[in-house]
Structure 1
């Protein structure tokens, strides 16, 4: 998950030279070696990282995590553009997101997973079911595991992030593995239709259709239809919220929501209603104004930006299930997510909110860093408490 940060890293001459030496060694290495090295560097003691990157980055009274500074410095030296790619929805850009996510996340252990197909609003959608080791039993094959038969386990339906332009089952595979294992529940990741090929309301319609499919087919995937949560990160968190709103209106409310740095207003740029954090962090911290503009234009299409399914601040929130929302301090989406928290509370919704002040958008992928990995564990803990009990 890369970004250009200009002069934000505060490099010292000695630290920069050490980082250049690392980059030279990594330049000829394959993705596996690069990924291992990246995660190890992000896990170095904070004092060592600070000597490599120089003075802290402080903005809006917050100090950027040193591991994030180090990540940005490395990627800048490697000449990676990340979300600043010229064609945000090209096949190459979509493949690159998966590659970068794998480099940053690695391959966390999971009890078991398998691919399947669920119903979308206009046809079948690819999906992947994750089962943690706690919900498996020893199989007849020595050392093998198999799902417990006849179970009705809690299930999280996960919608991946990517600005409605990118992302798929593979880009968020590691995140789903960690959530399943640490929360002790099944996770079903759903690959909804993307813009610009499929603008609003395609993705939102798919999210609700997938939820309806789960309720109809819960027994077949070992899920308890009374303990289904909807969740996601960024654009995926937006989809989870929209699906929850539709579910409540249809009298089939989910048990829980898990919203990770959600997008809550798809017309913010077009309607000139940007939050303060969108202006403060619009460049240099991964999620840029350029990418947000492209994502908004592609997903909005000709839709009314005041539609409550695009601007969640105009939606009727009463009746939504208990909800967890987390935001990141250095994220353009921070303020709208925290505004949404207050609106949920005002509507009588039970809400838990955590701000991970030193972190950036997309931190869930950064498995090597102590701050980032700890935040993902905190999200899994919230899911366990809210859904599993």
Structure 2
């Protein structure tokens, strides 16, 4: 008679629970908006903006689930496991032409090729740097948005898994990402990338890293045609009105940001270091055109928009977009619901335009709500 070990039994129960959770979550976010509104409660309005109904419902489900917030868990491994679980649940399974795992400057990397491109056909390439506060995130946590960006923009995407804190503190992630971008430039031919259409991009902490890589590329004379900055953290002080307004209750919290800063940034580091605070950087000539988007209900909103204005004031072509009904992290919500995916599809369209040389600007305030 075959016996089943306790670990096997637990694994099966966890798998069943995960499938049930996914079915419930996906089903609720597929409901008509009017039914979602009934379940979510009265509209949340703050700073003249109304939170998307499905996002409000998601936050309510998260609250009633009883699961502890990620920032209250030990980073390794519980916090990382929890955030990865959330990302996979929201990302779903999206189609892609092909993926290939490789190493870039000694770092784990994944190359995404959309279905419309054949091997050997040069295309634009986005070097993508994931978010996660410099302490969370990996190739798998951002697999879904990388697939969508590649497919919708019609370009290849090279996702980089850089070192994280607490194992490796500042400036490890920054050094890794600059090295990975240099590697992509040097190996453009084997990546089937057009050297004239290389871009760097990322979300949140990855947006900070992407902004810094773009600055370093301009200083070193490396080709960089475009930078894609999704709700980037660009000011390590976080002393803005949006940081106060949205300090709690909208996924990214002040507690999370404090944990990330205290873990990645050594006590003796200078928060004015332009790597940590690109908004204080002296911008070099030849800086790549940019698309920078923010979320209305995001503590990082105001600093991101201030950086867009800084780029514009320096004469950098920049397209600024605020998604007023979204929260931080919407880039990962592409496998369920409607509004977040629609926003990410707009970002992919901006990437397509950017690598085709069509970037609006330099007026960064044109798309920013008053």
Relative to the length of structure 2, the TM-score reads: 0.89
Aligned positions of 1:300-379 closer than 5 A = 300-301=265-266, 302-318=268-284, 319-367=286-334, 368-379=336-347
Alignment of 1:239-318 (within 5 A): 239-266=209-236, 268=237, 274-301=239-266, 302-318=268-284
Contact 2:165 2:264 in 1 (8 A): yes
Measure how far apart 1:62 and its partner are. 1.0
1:66 equivalenced with 2:53 (yes/no): yes
Would you say the 8 A contact 2:71–2:79 is kept in 1?
no
Counterpart of 2:160 in structure 1 is 190
Q: Does the residue aligned with 1:56 lie in a helix, a strand or coil?
A: coil
Cα offset, 1:130, TM superposition: 0.3
1:105 equivalent in structure 2? 91
Deviates most, 344-353 or 53-62? 53-62
Structural RMSD (CA): 1.6
1:133 aligned counterpart, secondary structure = coil
SS at match of 2:196: strand
Compare 323-332 and 30-39 and name the one that shifted more.
30-39
What are the residue-to-residue correspondences of 1:50-89 with 2, within 5 Å? Answer: 50-87=37-74, 89=75
Question: Relative to structure 2, which stretch is displaced further, 198-207 or 37-46?
Answer: 37-46
Distance in 1 of aligned mates of 2:166 and 2:54:
34
Q: CA deviation at 1:29?
A: 4.4
Distance 2:58 2:228 in 1: 27
Offset at residue 34 of structure 1 (A): 2.0
How far residue 43 of structure 1 moved from its aligned partner, in angstroms, is 2.6
Tell me how far 1:82 sits from its aligned partner: 3.4
Q: Which range moved further: 158-167 or 309-318? A: 309-318
Secondary structure of 2:189's counterpart equals helix
- 2:195–2:223: 8 Å Cα contact kept in structure 1? no
CA positional deviation for 1:253: 4.0
* C-alpha distance in 2 between matches for 1:35 and 1:106: 9
Mapped pair 1:219 → 2:184:
no
* Structure 2 residues not aligned, in runs of 5+: 1-13, 358-370
Q: Which runs of 4+ in 1 moved over 3 A?
A: none
Aligned to 2:122: 152
Instruction: Tell whether the 8 Å contact from 1:232 to 1:239 is kept in structure 2 after alignment.
Output: yes
Moved more, 59-68 or 27-36: 27-36
The one of 77, 80, 92 equivalent to 1:91 is: 77
Distance 1:178 1:294 in 2: 30
Residue 28 of structure 2: aligned partner: 41
Structure 1 counterpart SS, 2:145: helix
| 1:167 pairs with 2:137 | yes
Q: Describe the SS at the equivalent of 1:240.
A: helix
**TM (normalized to structure 1)?**
0.85
- Please, which moves more after superposition, 311-320 or 225-234? 311-320
User: Which deviations, in whole Å up to 9, do the C-alpha atoms of 1:226-283 show, x marking residues without a partner?
Assistant: 21100000000110110111111111141100000000012x15xxxx1110011010
**How many pairs are equivalent?**
342
Distance 1:200 1:242 in 2: 13
Using the TM superposition, give the Cα deviation of residue 197 of structure 1 relative to its aligned residue in structure 2, in angstroms: 1.6
Partner residue, 1:204: 174
Per-residue CA deviations over 1:295-325 (Å, capped at 9, x if unaligned) read 1112211211111111112112243111000
1:35–1:102 Cα contact (<8 Å) kept: no
Q: Secondary structure at the match of 1:352?
A: strand
Which residue does the alignment assign to 1:19? none
Distance 1:152 1:247 in 2: 21
Give the Cα separation in 2 of the matches to 1:280 and 1:370: 25
Q: Deviations over 1:87-132 (max 9, x none)?
A: 2x2212111111110111111111110100110xxxx100000000
Distance of 2:145 and 2:130 partners within structure 1? 9
